[in-house]
Amino acid sequence: MSAGGRTAALELVGVDKRFPGVHALKNVSLEVRPGEVVGLIGENGAGKSTLMKILSGVYQPDGGEIRHDGRKVVLRSPIDAAATGIGMVHQEQSLLTNLTVAENIWLGKEKPFLKGRLIDHKAMAAAARRQLEKVQIDIDPTVVTEKLSFAQRQMVELAKVLTLEEEIEGHLVIMLDEPTSVLEQAEIDILFARVRALRDRASFVFVSHRLDEILDLSDRVYVMKDGAVVAEMPSADADTEKLHSLMVGRSRNAEYYKENRQKPYRPEVVMAASGLTLAGAYEGVDFELHAGEVLGIAGVIGSGREELARTLGGLAPATGGTLTVFGRPARLATPGEAVSLGIGYVPRERRVEGIVGFLPVVANITLGNLRAVTRGGLIDHAKERTTAETWVKRLAIKTPTIRTLVMNLSGGNQQKVVLAKWINAGAKIIVLDHPTRGLDVGAKEEVYELVRSITAEGVAVILTSDTLEETIGLSHRIIVMKDKRVTERFEAMPGGKPDQLDLIRHMV
């Protein structure tokens, strides 16, 4: 499907990819024309990362094919992809901070600079300087990368990818994976100017959460949802609201979110914020959280909701306003303080922060409150077992025995173990930071059941979620944030749940 008689620089035809329990990419086709900037958007879990990994040779597709300049190619590894002409500017930067800029640019490609067995540093630096000129940045290539700012390093990454130009035949395609997430506006402007200037040298695939940036930089936009491309349009025909509804638009299934089990929350207020502010992140946030309530926080990246959730977990202390927990003022300066006040924070990186994978279920559950099962300085194993078994039953944790190592459980059940640990430790407020990220459909459902179970017992939940659908389905009430402020509040009891478009209107 070449456009206007020209062969696409890069083309995906019917690419399919499955992981156990997840159909990550469903018959995805897209093309990138020479000199074009293509935007790629989608919610978390829509398949963007999988697609990027297939294009950079990390994953192999199960079906379909990839064509570069009209020829079918197989990308077995990142090195293979680069040799074909598909380069990647990584979100987590791929420069070694202890080497100089020139050394980084030519890492693994030192051969042309060898004189005998020794490296000619002058020639290497001069060649690096030529690469840096392509992105018009004035950096001394002999400087150690550590000394560069994040924005400068990104430019070096771009220069490094552009070295492929001289090594490949045909068109160069560069993938930019969330390149702006840590840049200041002035730095973003520079990056965009460079990308535009480089269009006669390469095509770009630009992945971002920020729809305004996508519209600003891209010629065309692809929208992905649930592993499939659901829309493709010229940027000129799109606006942020349209794109956002395409990304999220699907009918909510009340049964999926166990809405029949959603009970009204109790009158007692467990946590209240008034004028809560974290400089640079959010301002003047007010809310009340009741026992047994799920309070959803909706907003796009940069709205301040991520930081708000972290504040409530004790990870990012607020700089202004007041916060009360169970009627008493609290600062939540450390996670330890949050825990002692009865707040449990369930991080999105469950494997990293939430569980100890090589310990059994029982040890994980009692980890937060070992004192309760300790007698005379020694752990009472019988008591510990009883405690763990109670939780396994109450939260329906699917595990062969309580001796099973947590790393062998499914994602949803790991999440249950994390929650059991917190509630066993006396947590009455749970902050769920993207609780279903990376989980398959079945595991998600288990998490939803879990939310219903713990709120029925009076535990209050603060929820930030990957999808609006999930926020609406689970929450009793929703606060919507935009540009660091709360822009609207919704009641979301069963039968009276707001529409996604209602929320989006206040988000973008």
Partner 1 sequence: MAASAIRLPPASRIERLRAFTPVIVLVVVFAVIGAIAPAFLSIDNLVRIMNASAIPLCLALGATFIILMGSIDLSVEGVVAMGAVLTALLVQNGANANDLGFLAIPLVLLMGAAFGFVNGVVHVKLQIPSFMVTLGMSFIAIGIATVMLAGERVRITDTTFRELALGRVLGIPMGVWVALAATLVAYVIQTRTRLGRWIFAVGGGEDILRLTSVPVGRVRILAFTLAGVFYGLGGILSAAQLGQGHALMGQGRLFTTITAVVVGGTSLMGGQGGVQNTLVGVLIVVGLANGMVLMGVPPYVQTGVQGVLIIAAVALAVDRSRARIIK
Tokens read off for 64 = 């379909």
Distances from the Cα of 186 to the Cα of 183, 215, 281, angstroms:
8, 18, 18
Of 136 and 340, the one with the shorter C-beta distance to partner 1 is 136
Query: In 3D, which of 167, 214, 239 has the Cα closest to residue 37?
Result: 214
Of the residues 7, 27, 142, 152, which one makes contact with partner 1 according to CB under 8 A: 152
Residue closer to partner 1 by CB (options 107, 379) is 107
8-state DSSP, 233: E
What is the side-by-side strand order in the sheet with 86-89? Answer: 86-89, 172-177, 202-207, 37-41, 220-225, 228-234
3-state secondary structure of 409: coil
- The Cα 4–Cα 119 span in angstroms is 47
Residue type, 94: S
Site size with partner 1, rule: CB under 8 A:
36
- Choose between 62 and 80: whose C-beta lies nearer to partner 1: 80
CA-CA-CA-CA torsion sign (180, 183, 189, 194): negative
β partners of residue 423: none
What are the residues facing 507 on neighbouring strands? none
Rounded distance between C-alpha atoms, residue 58 and residue 66, angstroms? 14
Q: Does 139 bind partner 1 (CB under 8 A)?
A: yes
Q: Which stretch binds partner 1 (CB under 8 A): 5-13, 16-24, 100-108, 384-392?
A: 100-108
356 binds partner 1 (CB under 8 A): no
Rounded CA gap, 95 and 80, in Å? 19
How near is the Cβ of 367 to partner 1 at its closest, in Å?
17
User: Which residues within the stretch 17-56 sit at the binding site for partner 1 (CB under 8 A)?
Assistant: none
Q: Looking at 13, 22, 99, 168, which residue binds partner 1 (CB under 8 A)?
A: 99
Residue placing its CB nearer to partner 1 in the complex, 114 or 333: 114
Residues in contact with partner 1, shown as a per-residue x/- string from 181 to 220 under the rule CB under 8 A: -----xx-xx--x---------------------------
* Binding-site member from 1, 4, 20, 138 for partner 1 (CB under 8 A): 138
Q: Hey, which residues between 361 and 420 contact partner 1 (CB under 8 A)? A: none
- Of 2, 149, 390, 401, the residue at the interface with partner 1 (CB under 8 A) is 149
Q: CB-based contacts of 434: which residues, under 8 Å, 6+ apart?
A: 44, 348, 464, 465, 466
Among 95, 363, 460, 503, binds partner 1 (CB under 8 A): 95
DSSP H or E run through 87: strand 86-89
CB count, 10 Å around CB of 200?
7
Where b means 16+ CB within 10 Å and e means fewer, 368-392 reads bbeeebeeeeeeeeeebeebbbebb
Question: Per-residue x/- mask for partner 1, residues 55 to 94, rule CB under 8 A?
Answer: -----------------------xx----------x---x
What is the C-alpha to C-alpha distance for residues 365 and 369, in angstroms, rounded to an integer? 8
Q: What is the largest CA-CA distance in the chain?
A: 82
Measured from the CB atom, is 55 or 294 closer to partner 1? 55
Regarding 96 and contact with partner 1 (CB under 8 A), the answer is: yes
Contacts with partner 1, 101-130, as mask; x by CB under 8 A: --x---xxxx---x--xxx-x---------
Binding residues for partner 1 (CB under 8 A): 78-79, 90, 94-99, 103, 107-110, 114, 117-119, 121, 136-140, 143, 147-149, 151-152, 155, 186-187, 189-190, 193
